């Protein structure tokens, strides 16, 4: 989330236009590099702004799918650790209650 938030400020339309101009101003190869770069940016703009969610998911790469799976596994392990922590806490409370009940029974038996 932090990387996404920070990268949003970097990839604004003004900054991308400056990058396009900088690439085009490189002597000798600027015009040759700027055409594919502009095509790529236009394709990304169309993909993100001009299509539906179903069409965006069609272009998911294997690496993207693996990254999404990794995030899902991390979230599941996080939730599992929360549940395990709550279970341990409850078990400690039950053990403490049993111990105090057992201790009071022993005192009652031996004190008489």
pLDDT at res. 50: 66
Distance CA 88, CA 72 (A): 24
**pLDDT of 44-79, one tens digit each?**
878 777 655 555 445 568 888 888 889 999 999 999
pLDDT at res. 83: 95
Q: Whole-model pTM?
A: 0.39
Please report, for residues 35, 71, 80, the alpha-carbon distance to residue 77 in angstroms, rounded to integers and kept in the order given.
45, 10, 5
Distance from chain centroid for Cα 44:
21
**pLDDT of 7-48, one tens digit each?**
556 667 777 788 888 888 888 888 788 888 888 888 887 877
Please report, for residues 49, 58, 83, 86, the alpha-carbon distance to residue 80 in angstroms, rounded to integers and kept in the order given.
36, 31, 5, 10
Task: Kindly state the tokens that stand for 12.
Answer: 């604004």
């Amino acid at each position: 989330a932090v990387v996404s938030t920070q990268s949003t400020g970097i990839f604004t339309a003004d900054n991308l236009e400056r990058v396009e101009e900088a690439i085009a101003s490189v002597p000798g190869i600027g015009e040759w590099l700027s055409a594919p770069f502009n095509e790529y940016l236009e394709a990304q703009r169309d993909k993100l702004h001009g299509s539906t969610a179903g069409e965006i998911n069609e272009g998911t790469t294997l690496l993207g799918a693996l990254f999404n799976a990794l995030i899902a596994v991390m979230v599941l392990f996080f939730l599992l650790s929360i549940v395990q922590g709550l279970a341990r806490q409850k078990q400690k409370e039950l053990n403490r209650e049993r111990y105090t009940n057992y201790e009071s029974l022993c005192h009652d038996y031996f004190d008489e």
